[in-house]
Chains A and B, each alone.
Chain A
Amino acid sequence: MNSARRVTGQGLLASLALILYVLESVAPRPLPWMKLGLGNVAVLLALLVFGAASAAAVCLVKLGIGGLLSGGFAGPAFAIGAGAGIGSLAAMAIVHRLTPGLFSPVGLSILGAVVHQLCQLSLAFVYVRHAGLFALLPIFIATGLLSGSLTGLLAYWALDKLRALGWHELRGEARAGGAR
């Protein structure tokens, strides 16, 4: 596979992440702090297909342009969400790197979602500075578990389709490139 295909794939994933992020930020939510994290589907796909660097690129594009589009750029809520997104991506990338194949995409996604919620709560703690905030921890973990498994299933499904399309050939090159 040539690098043009790779760049195209990354661009598609970045735009997909952006679309899902913006759509989700407009959609009504059942609970105020509950969010499915659909944009993470694309980030997870980028991590599994192209590697950690592309996943970071997709994540940053999603956060930067998504923040501008949803209008909350540079506010505390955006800072919390962005920090949590980067933290969860870092956790997923490290686990994926250290133990390749131990977790399925669903497991990776659940891990990322739970870490996302923990980071979110910790960063909110930086703003609010009250230990009572951690009374919300079980709710956050439960929603992380739920949304993580849902997005993980979606990512697995998409990966299955991509395998059928022949995208997994890209994975080998991404690994070879990552070893450099």
Chain B
Amino acid sequence: MKMVCFMRMIRLEQKYCIRIALQIQIAVIQYIILSHKWRRAYLLSALSKDGKREVQPRYAAKWSKASRGMSSERGLELRQLWHILTKADVVLVVAVAVWAGGLVATGNSGQRQGTRLVVEVSGSAAAPQAMSPARVIQVQGPLGVTEIEIGADGARVSRAPCRNQICVRAGWIRRTGEITVCIPNRVLLRFVGHRPDSSLDAVSR
């Protein structure tokens, strides 16, 4: 209980903290900018005296190539990017991008219009719900009641007891494979559609 009060107090003090933090940061930046010029001059003279250079990282040569003659006042330039990146970086970026792209390509093919909604609370699923009457259902989670709105072509969490309201802001979901999760209240919405493992394509009555 004490802990909760303490945290609430801290939350109230948050604005103050941010203001102070901003001022500290501005002071640090000012210090860096003000002390920048003479320090750099001192450093350059010291370097030229003993001529010692860093050899430890392999990108040291690249760095000095990129930063030599290019004063730091210029700041961050995107043109410098190709000097910064090593080959391993490029390989990493391409590999990750291909991985994500492959996941998208394989994942989207399995997505279809969902026909029934499954609501899971704390990992246990209820029976799939039909979409036909537009309505609002309520489920009880550990934190409280989550309201789920079911419309003609989708479902969404319309009200939730969680603090950050990520599930509410996630909006409508419509297709199989799309989910809405509320981690604090342990609620998960997903659609099931035409199941590919079913031996029947459809049932007509």
- A interface residue numbers (CB < 8 A to B): 12, 15-16, 18-19, 22-23, 26, 32-33, 68-73, 75-77, 80, 99-107, 110-111, 114, 124, 127-130, 132-133, 135-138, 141-142, 144-145, 149, 153-154, 156-157, 160-161, 163-166, 168, 171-172, 175
Contacts and interface: CB of A to CB of B under 8 A. Distances in A.
Contacts of A124: 181, 183
A28 to B, nearest CB: 11
B21 A23 contact: yes
B153 interface: no
Interface in B154-177: 163-164, 166, 169-170, 177
Contact of B86 (A18, A104, A135, A138): A104
A69 B19 CA distance: 13
Dominant secondary structure at the B interface: helix
A32 B170 contact: yes
Nearest to A153: B76
27 contacts: A15-B21, A16-B28, A19-B21, A68-B7, A70-B14, A71-B8, A76-B183, A77-B184, A100-B56, A101-B58, A101-B59, A101-B60, A104-B89, A107-B85, A107-B89, A110-B89, A124-B183, A127-B186, A130-B123, A138-B100, A138-B101, A138-B103, A138-B107, A141-B96, A141-B103, A142-B100, A145-B96
Contacts of A104: 59, 62, 84-86, 89
Contact of A160 (B25, B67, B92, B188): B67
Given A26-B18, A102-B58, A103-B86, A157 B75 contact: yes
A161 B40 CA distance: 10
Nearest to A145: B96
Contact of A135 (B43, B101, B179): B179
Given A18-B21, A103-B86, A114-B96, A77 B183 contact: yes
A131 B32 CA distance: 49
Contacts of B35: 165
Interface size range of chain B in the complex: 35 or more
A111 B11 CA distance: 33
A32 B166 contact: yes
Interface in B59-111: 59-60, 62-63, 67, 72, 75-76, 81, 84-86, 88-89, 92-93, 96-97, 99-101, 103-104, 107
B134 interface: no
B133 interface: no
B190 interface: yes
A107 B94 CA distance: 11
A146 to B, nearest CB: 11
